[in-house]
Structure 1
Amino acid sequence: MPGTPYFSPRLILGAAAMFGMLLALGIHILGQRFGLDLGDLWGTPNGIIPATAAIAWWLIAAVAFVGGYVTASLLFSAASGHLPRRLQHALIAGGLLLLIAAGQAASGPSPVPTLHGFYNGIVALMLGAAMAFAGAHFALARH
């Protein structure tokens, strides 16, 4: 009987950080459809930051961190053979459905100006990458 394959922790860390970052970007795109604009943190004319900007910031950070943590834990379990095959397929399908919904939301007309939306996307991507990496790192440190 063959043993379980070895996967480098760096490979698991990179994959988990990438998936957490994509989840954060998907949540950012979906959040824009509901009026959660991350760019309201900067450039408000009266100096008051709206609550929707703070909600968007924390939502993106939380989804990226939890996504990186859960993905790293699941990848570690899958690599060691402790995760059932059906659960693997269900988790993959759930992640793909979120990314499909984000793609559908991004294909319509944007509620924010183009350059403003581009900067918001870059900030959401960097925030998502940092938080997903931190979550994946904590998950791998636990194992």
Structure 2
Amino acid sequence: MMPGSPYFSPRLILTGAAMFGMLLALGVHILGQRFGLDLGDLWGDATGGMIPIRAAIAWWLIAAVAFGSGHITATLLHSAVSGHLPRRLQHALIAGGLLLLIAAGQAASGPSPVPTLHGVSNGMVALMLGAAMAYAGAHFALARTKAS
């Protein structure tokens, strides 16, 4: 470690990136439900034993957003701590993430297109999927920054 550079625990970066990725994945899940992307169709009554394409799209969309945002957030947090990220970019990224979460809150406040118990179970599955994928993305980002 170079003198004068602040120490920031990698576990704290990993936790923050995983939580932010999980929240963004949950926000995308809520917004996706408004567009008919229902994650619960994976275990519902499928016709002919085929998985509905909308459920597969919802699953992959949530996983990709969580993994990508966990990876990007961990990289950006590491850059911000080391002083390589401009302040304006930090503020713009925070504002973008907050706008997505605000849009998800707006979408969640209206009447839901899915039944309550079904929506709660879908939300929990999306939350767990988002947490696992965001953690994986953040872990890979921190491993890459340690290697370089």
* Residue identity in the other structure for 1:14: T
Letter in 2 for 1:61: A
User: What stretches of structure 1 move > 6 A for 4+ residues in a row?
Assistant: none
Between the aligned partners of 2:115 and 2:89, the Cα distance in structure 1 is 40
**Pair 1:81-2:114 in alignment:** no
Q: For residue 51 of structure 1, what is the amino acid of its counterpart?
A: I
Query: Identity, % of aligned pairs?
Result: 85
Distance 1:50 1:139 in 2: 33
What is the TM-score normalised by the length of structure 1? 0.97
CA shift for structure 1 position 38? 0.1
Alignment correspondent of 1:125: 127
Residue 94 in structure 1 maps to residue 93 in structure 2? no
Give the structure 2 partner of residue 25 of structure 1. 26
- Name structure 2 gaps, 5 residues minimum: none
- TM-score, length-scaled by structure 2: 0.94
Separation in 2, partners of 1:95, 1:3: 30
In the alignment, the residues of structure 1 paired with residue 109 and residue 95 of structure 2 have an alpha-carbon distance, to the nearest angstrom, of 21
Match of 1:142 in 2: 144
SS in 2 for 1:91: helix
Give the drift of 1:45: 4.8
**Partner in structure 1 of residue 11 of structure 2:** 10
Alignment-derived partner of residue 42 in structure 1: 43
Q: How many residues align?
A: 142
In structure 1, what residue type is equivalent to 2:144?
R
Q: What's the CA shift for 1:43?
A: 1.8
> Given that residues 46 and 52 in structure 2 are in contact (C-alpha distance below 8 angstroms), is that contact kept between their aligned partners in structure 1?
no
Distance 2:143 2:46 in 1: 44
For the residue of structure 2 that corresponds to 1:128, the secondary structure is helix
Counterpart of 1:133, as a letter, is Y
Query: Which residue of structure 2 lines up, in the alignment, with residue 68 of structure 1?
Result: 70
- What is the deviation of 1:5? 1.7
* Structural RMSD (CA): 1.0
What are structure 1's unaligned runs of at least 5 residues?
A: none
